[in-house]
Amino acid sequence: MDEDRSLEATDKKIVDRWVDTIIAYFLRLNIARKIMLGYSSLLALLVIISIYALTNLNRLNAINTSILQTDLPVIDASEKMIDVVLAQELYARRYIILGTSDVWNIFLEKKMEFEHLNDRIRRLPEHQKFPIKKIAILHQEYNDILVESTKGAKSQKQSISKAYDDGIKAQQEKIISAIKEMAVIALQAQNEKTGMTATIGRVAFKAAAILCGFGLFLSLAAAMIITRNISGAIKKLKYATGMISQGQFDHKPDIRNKDELGDLAKAFVSMAGRLKLLEEMYLDTSPLTRLPGGIAIESVLNKRIAANVQIAFCLMDIDNFKAYNDRYGYAKGNELIKATAAIIGEAVTDHGNKEDFIGHIGGDDFVVITTPDHYKDICETTTKNFDAAIPEFYDSEDNERGHIVGENRQGEEVSFPLATISIAVVTNEKRKLLNSIEFGEVAAEMKEHVKSISGSVFMVDQRRGKRGTRKDRKLIKLKNHKHTSKG
């Protein structure tokens, strides 16, 4: 009992393995081959049906040909041969009475006609089954009796004697019996062959009907399998599209196909990942400047740190921006921020790398991530162009005074200088910064110091090792347009 169960389990495993192999092979096929597979099964069945039908038609043709070329001619010849045998006796008796050569010639013609009919049967494809030789012998004996009886009666000038007459009758019965036997053989063969054609036709019809039904079932099954495989994958992709349109970018369509749809699913997943990143960047993008925000800045910075490349992190801030906003309003303040973004972008385009990154943290704070060999030109160009453009944002009175008058939080009248830009630069040339947070902390610390210096300036952190105190800070002094960077 246990052995039987073990054998059944083994057989099931073998069958399951074969099924898995077939399914895996089917999934690896491309769409064109899957469609061709469906058509090929139908084509193979059509070929089988055609071969079977043609084979049976050929058999039917051979049987019908045999009937037409053998059986029917033998039956027809048999009837004529009996007529000839009877006609020979008639003309032999007439010759005795009339004695003319014309009658005798007709007798001889009938003899030759009989031999010709017998010879024609001898040349048929299936002549072996007929008693042709026997009939020829009997006919020759029949002719000899007729000739002898005719000569005897002619010499005695009287009718055929009773002895010859009995012989003629007896021989005539023999030959007619042999001819009828041949006709019966031909008729039986005809009937058998007709029955065979009916049987072949009936069997062929049933077989063709079964094959057609099986073919229809097979074609429908193949069509359903292929259609479900393709349409199922398309439905999953359609559903995934709907999920992505709802913002669920992590949804992955469960498509096991290795065909074009499988490749499309992989591309779809890759596209979804890219869309997720783009959406994150879009959501993180400043609506005012269209520049990436803090998340994108952090991501770019961490990727470059992980790649162990040289980084120059430039944190830029507009000085006295709040006083400008209070004096001229948010609309003008937004214009100043957009102009600053354009100035920074132009400086990076002219002096930076293709891989340089510009971000807008928010408000009046910007970030440029470049390399140590380019930050100096970028910062110099930015401060220079900012100072050249800033007068256009003030009225003539404020430009002449060189400052604007406003109130502090205590309501006291205070003078605020015209807006400038302060840039704090942090690099990893002399010390290793592990992540974006450390870059941000050092840059924020640097910015507070840079903003305490009047004018548009930029400063670079030159410390080694970990962050130290202000006494440990060593800043380089760089000359800027109309201003001197201090450290």
> Are residue 152 and residue 255 in the same domain, yes or no?
yes
Give me Rg for the CA atoms of the chain. 58
> Are residue 44 and residue 163 in the same domain, yes or no?
yes
Rounded CA gap, 365 and 359, in Å?
9
Long-range interactions of 66-71: CB distance < 8 A, separation 24+: 66/125, 66/126, 66/189, 66/193, 67/189, 67/190, 67/193, 67/194, 69/124, 69/125, 70/124, 70/125, 70/126, 70/127, 70/186, 70/189, 71/186, 71/187, 71/189, 71/190, 71/193
**CATH at residue 412:** 3.30.70.270
> Are residue 437 and residue 348 in the same domain, yes or no?
yes
> Are residue 327 and residue 352 in the same domain, yes or no?
yes
The pLDDT value given to residue 272:
74
> Are residue 319 and residue 415 in the same domain, yes or no?
yes
**Closest Cα to residue 367, out of 284, 434, 482, 277?**
284
**Which of these three, 269, 284, 299, is where a domain ends?**
284
CA atoms within 13 A on the CB side of 104: 10
In the structure encoding, which two tokens stand for residue 456, read together? Answer: 């548009």
> Are residue 44 and residue 135 in the same domain, yes or no?
yes
How many domains does the chain fold into?
Answer: 2
Q: To 5 degrees, how large is the angle CA 317–CA 323–CA 327?
A: 135
The pLDDT value given to residue 38:
64
Q: Which domain holds residue 294?
A: 286-484
**Which of these three, 284, 317, 349, is where a domain ends?**
284
> Are residue 261 and residue 317 in the same domain, yes or no?
no
DSSP 392: G
Rounded CA gap, 229 and 232, in Å?
5
> Are residue 82 and residue 188 in the same domain, yes or no?
yes
Buried b / exposed e across 77-113, counting CB within 10 Å, b at 16+? bbeebbebbebbbebbbbbbeeeeeebbebbeebbeb
The pLDDT value given to residue 478:
37
> Are residue 98 and residue 37 in the same domain, yes or no?
yes
Entry pTM: 0.47
Nearest 5°: phi and psi at 266?
-65, -45
Element (H, E) at 34: helix 31-66
Rounded CA gap, 152 and 262, in Å?
108
Chunked mean pLDDT (size 10), the chain, 487 residues: 61 66 60 66 78 86 87 91 91 82 89 92 87 91 86 60 80 91 90 89 84 77 74 78 75 73 74 70 77 89 92 95 91 95 96 94 94 96 96 93 81 88 93 84 91 93 61 37 34
The pLDDT value given to residue 481:
34
The pLDDT value given to residue 486:
32
Residue pair 70/126 in contact (Cβ under 8 Å)? The answer is yes
Residue 229, number of CB atoms within 10 A of its CB:
20
> Are residue 9 and residue 112 in the same domain, yes or no?
yes
The pLDDT value given to residue 48:
83
> Are residue 320 and residue 444 in the same domain, yes or no?
yes
The pLDDT value given to residue 407:
74
The pLDDT value given to residue 281:
63
Helix (H, G, I), strand (E, B) or coil at 209: helix
> Are residue 89 and residue 102 in the same domain, yes or no?
yes
**Which of these three, 233, 261, 284, is where a domain ends?**
284
